[in-house]
Structure 1
Amino acid sequence: MGFFDRFKSKPAATTVSSADSVARIMVVLECDGDQVLFILLVDDGTINRMGTGKEDNRELDLYIGVSDIDAFQAVRSVCGPVIDDWIGGFGDPNAEGKTCKLLVGFQTSAGEELLSQWEYGTESKGPPSEVITVVKQAVQATADWYEEQKALSAGG
């Protein structure tokens, strides 16, 4: 049994059995009250991104644009385990360090919203690997686009 299994809320009643019907994916990370990461990916290639996700993030500009759908598809491909097992709110009652709040959200093509919410400390274990995989994939899948947007903004 994993650490957070002890704190699982009742499983959410959902009509989604996998990530196939997901049309939007959102990742929001706050650390010590500051938003350090925001990513929104839409199945039409729309990308919104702010921040690095690092505790000391200083990148506060939000970039919005459209790219190909590869980034969305890459992230959606790892969402199934979160949708199947980790929808709900979870917290570490013994959190140590600065408070972190992570939200991984999904919206289906039918408009249903599914949320996996976490509260933990910077010195604590944090969410399970399935949730972290979605966050890392979202950061990696948007990294080149994000760097390009920052360069265009700086040069313009």
Structure 2
Amino acid sequence: MKALLSILLLFAMTNTTTAVPDSLKKKSEVDLVSITLEVESEAWLFILLARDGTINRMGDGANSPKKESVYIGITEEKLFEAFMENVDEQMLSHPGAYDHKEKEGKACSVKIIFSDQNEEKKSGFYFGYGSDSAGPPQPIPSLIMKAIEITDPWHQEQKNKE
């Protein structure tokens, strides 16, 4: 975790940083997480996982989803819990918006939002960067990959129903 804080500090010193309200401080308070990856203002990946089993997924993050459907459902599988096992609780205490000043390539952004059941308390991250410049620091990419991995079987099952 110290490495993440050091990287965020370095990222903040070389880029534009904006603080966001950090109402959520404990993983036990989180009931919903959403992840959005955009390229040139177009969503390439959207994942929503909720403690009650609600799941939404669109895209894979690697390809433009021009013909991609948003799949919405409820699952008995503990996907939310599986994802949250990978979240270090200290991350919730350091939310913020980080924007790389010198973006190279296509404009990209990643948002990870943690919220309570009523979406009254939130915490999260926003990273703006270029496709050919430094992206978000670890563990953000690892969390995104874990969310894709955890939701892939459900996502493929939904696609196969079409």
The match for 2:160 is 151
Query: Which runs of 5 or more residues in structure 1 are unaligned?
Result: none
Q: Are the counterparts in 2 of residues 24 and 106 from structure 1 also a CA contact under 8 Å?
A: yes
Compute the TM-score of the two structures, normalised by the length of structure 1: 0.86
Q: CA deviation at 1:5?
A: 3.6
**Distance in 2 of aligned mates of 1:14 and 1:36:** 27
Does residue 44 in structure 1 map to residue 52 in structure 2?
Answer: yes
Cα shift at 1:16: 2.8
Aligned to 1:103: 111
Looking at structure 1, the residues matched to 28 and 123 of structure 2 have their Cα atoms a distance apart, in angstroms, of 13
Q: Which amino acid aligns with 1:22?
A: V
How many residues in Structure 1 have an aligned counterpart in Structure 2?
Answer: 152
Name the amino acid aligned to 1:151: N
Q: CA deviation at 1:69?
A: 4.4
* Structure 2 residue 97 is matched with structure 1 residue 89: yes
- Quote how far apart the aligned CAs of 1:11 are: 5.2
SS class of match (1:129): coil
**Aligned-residue identity in percent:** 27
In the TM superposition, what is the alpha-carbon distance from 1:57 to its structure 2 partner? 4.0
1:137 to 2:146 alignment = yes
TM-score with structure 2 length normalisation?
0.83
Q: Which stretches in structure 2 are left out of the alignment for 5+ residues?
A: 1-5
User: 1:49 & 1:94 partners in 2: Cα distance?
Assistant: 31
Cα offset, 1:112, TM superposition:
0.4
Residue 27 (str. 1) matches residue 35 (str. 2): yes
Distance change >3 Å, CA 15–CA 30, structure 1 → 2: closer
Asked whether 1:4 is paired with 2:14, we answer no
Matched, 1:74 2:76: no
Distance, in Å, in 2 between the alignment partners of 1:50 and 1:26 is 12
On the 8 A contact 1:107/1:113 being kept in 2, the answer is yes
* Residue aligned with 1:29, SS: strand
Residues 1:62 and 2:36 are matched in the alignment: no
Tell me if the contact between 1:51 and 1:59 (Cα under 8 Å) persists in the aligned partners.
no
Q: What secondary structure does 2:145 align onto?
A: helix
* Distance in 1, Cα, partners of 2:112 & 2:58: 15
